[in-house]
A and B are shown apart, each in its own frame.
Chain A
Amino acid sequence: MNTLTFLPKRLLSAIIILPATSTAIAQTPQSKQVGNAVSHNWLLFACFIALAMLVAALFLLLRIQSSFNKLKEKAGIENPGIFKRYFNRFSSAQIDDLLKQKNNHLPVYITIALSLLSVGGHAQGAGSSLTDQPGILITIVLIMIPLFAGLLLMIVKAARLFRRQQDQHNIREGQQLAVHLQSMDQQVLEEQLLQRKAALDFHLTNHELSGMEAVLDKKGLISETGTEETIPFVAVKKKAIKRPDIAPELARLIIWYLCCAAFWLVLGTTAGEYLGIKFVSPDIDHTSWLSFGRLRPVHTNMVFWGWSSLAMLGLGHYIVPMVSNTRLYSIKTGWYALALINGAVITGSLCLMAGINNGGGEYREYIWPVMLLFAAGLVLTLHNFLQTIARRTTKEIYISNWYIVAAIMFALVITLVAYLPWWQDGLGETIVQGYYMHQGVGMWFMLFTLGIVYYFLPQQLNKPIYSYSLGILAFWAQIFFYTVIGTHHFVFSSIPWWLQTTAIVGSIGMIIPVCAGFTNFLLTFKGAWHKLAGSYTLPFFLTGVVFYVTGSLQGTAEAFRFTNLLWHFTDFTVAHSHLTMYGIIAFFAWGSIYALLPRLTGREAPQITIGAHFWLALIGVLFYTIPLMYGSTLRGIMWMEKRPFIESVVLMAPYWLWRAIGGSLMWVSHLFFVWNVYKMLAPSKVADINETAIQQLKAAYQSRTNGTFQQS
Chain B
Amino acid sequence: MELFNNHKKLFGTALVLFLALTLLVAILPAFDNQRNNAVLPGYERLSASAAKGRQVFIANGCVACHTQQVRNVEMDRAWGARPSMAADYAPIHRTDLWRNTATLMGTERTGPDLTNIGTRQPSVDWQLMHLYNPRLLAPASIMPAYPFLFRVKKDPASGEVIVHVAEGMPEEGYEVVANPEALQLVDYLLSLKQTTVPDGKPTPAFLYQKAAAAGKADNTVSVDGAELYVANCQACHQPNGEGLKGAFPPLKGSPIVLDENPELFVDIIMNGYTGRMKEGYGAMPAVGTNNKLSAAEVTAIINHEKTSWGNSAPKVTSAEVQKIMNNIATSSKTPKP
Contact = CB atoms under 8 A, between A and B. Distances in A.
Contact of A360 (B30, B58, B71): B58
A290 to B, nearest CB: 9
B60 A355 contact: yes
Interface stretch (A75-83, A124-132, A394-402): A394-402
Contacts of B61: 291-294, 296-297, 352, 357, 360, 365
A293 B31 contact: no
Given A409-B18, A426-B90, A646 B140 contact: yes
Interface in B66-106: 67, 69, 71-73, 75-78, 83-86, 88-95, 98-106
A421 B110 CA distance: 30
Contact of A288 (B10, B75, B104, B148): B148
Interface string A355-369: 111111110110111
Contact of B18 (A369, A425, A483, A492): A483
A368 B96 CA distance: 12
B62 interface: yes
With a 10 A CB-CB cut-off, give which of B22, B112, B134 has the most chain A CB atoms: B22
Given A358-B100, A425-B93, A493-B69, A499 B25 contact: yes
Given A426-B37, A427-B34, A494 B89 contact: yes
Interface in A282-299: 282-283, 286-288, 291-294, 296-297
Given A357-B59, A492-B71, A292 B144 contact: yes
Contact of B64 (A296, A489, A496, A639): A296
Interface string A468-496: 00001001100110011011011011111
Interface in A604-642: 639-640, 642
Contacts of A424: 30, 34, 94, 100-101
A431 interface: yes
Contacts of A428: 30-31, 33-34, 101
A424 B142 CA distance: 33
B309 interface: no
B147 interface: yes
A297 B26 contact: no
Given A282-B145, A426-B34, A435-B22, A360 B135 contact: no
Contacts of A356: 59, 98-99
Interface in B140-178: 140-148
B230 interface: yes
A550 interface: no
Interface string B1-17: 00011010011001101
Contacts of A288: 60, 148
Nearest to A396: B5
B112 A645 contact: yes
Contact of B22 (A367, A406, A417, A494): A417
A666 B15 CA distance: 37
B222 to A, nearest CB: 12
Given A291-B60, A293-B65, A413 B103 contact: no
A299 B144 CA distance: 17
B29 interface: yes
Interface residues of A, number: 94
B107 interface: yes
A565 interface: yes
Contacts of B100: 358-359, 361, 364, 368, 419, 421, 424, 429
A646 B238 CA distance: 12
B260 interface: no
Contacts of B65: 292-293
Contacts of B89: 426-427, 429-430, 494
Contacts of B146: 286, 291
With a 10 A CB-CB cut-off, give which of B15, B94, B103, B140 has the most chain A CB atoms: B103
Interface stretch (A160-168, A229-237, A568-576, A677-685): A568-576
A496 B24 CA distance: 13
B109 interface: yes
B96 to A, nearest CB: 10
B94 to A, nearest CB: 6
Interface string A228-271: 00000000000000000000000000000000000000000000
A519 to B, nearest CB: 21
Contacts of A645: 78, 111-112
A423 interface: yes
A165 B324 CA distance: 97
A10 B227 CA distance: 64
Contacts of A689: none
B63 interface: yes
A502 interface: yes
Given A397-B5, A426-B91, A483-B21, A358 B99 contact: yes
Given A286-B148, A430-B105, A494-B88, A483 B5 contact: no
A196 to B, nearest CB: 65
Nearest to B143: A282
Contacts of B77: 642
B92 A425 contact: yes
A291 B227 CA distance: 32
A511 interface: no
A187 to B, nearest CB: 77
A344 B105 CA distance: 26
A607 to B, nearest CB: 40
Contacts of A362: 107
With a 10 A CB-CB cut-off, give which of B26, B75, B98 has the most chain A CB atoms: B26
B25 A402 contact: no
B223 interface: no
Contacts of A359: 58, 95, 99-102, 104
Contacts of A417: 22, 26-27
A283 to B, nearest CB: 6
B236 to A, nearest CB: 13
Nearest to A643: B227
Contacts of A375: none
A368 to B, nearest CB: 7
Interface in B165-219: 204, 207-208, 211
A694 interface: no
Given A293-B65, A428-B30, A287 B148 contact: yes
A297 B25 contact: no
B15 A426 contact: no
Contacts of B144: 278, 282, 291-293
B108 interface: yes
Contacts of A569: 67, 107-109
Nearest to B8: A390
A294 to B, nearest CB: 5
A386 interface: yes
B60 A486 contact: no
Contacts of A642: 75, 77-78
Interface of A: 278-279, 282-283, 286-288, 291-294, 296-297, 352, 355-362, 364-365, 367-369, 386, 389-390, 392, 395-397, 402, 405-406, 409-410, 413-414, 417, 419, 421, 423-432, 435-436, 443, 472, 475-476, 479-480, 483-484, 486-487, 489-490, 492-496, 499, 502-503, 565, 568-571, 573-574, 639-640, 642, 644-647, 649-650, 653, 656
8 contacts: A282-B134, A357-B59, A392-B7, A406-B18, A427-B86, A499-B25, A571-B110, A646-B141
Given A360-B64, A402-B14, A494-B85, 20 more contacts: A278-B142, A292-B64, A293-B62, A409-B14, A414-B22, A424-B100, A426-B91, A429-B89, A432-B26, A432-B30, A436-B26, A443-B18, A484-B21, A486-B26, A494-B204, A565-B208, A642-B77, A644-B230, A646-B141, A649-B142
Q: Which 3 A-B residue pairings sit nearest by Cβ, starting from the closest?
A: A293-B61, A359-B102, A355-B59
Interface of B: 4-5, 7, 10-11, 14-15, 17-19, 21-22, 24-27, 29-34, 37, 58-65, 67, 69, 71-73, 75-78, 83-86, 88-95, 98-112, 133-135, 138, 140-148, 204, 207-208, 211, 227, 230-231, 234
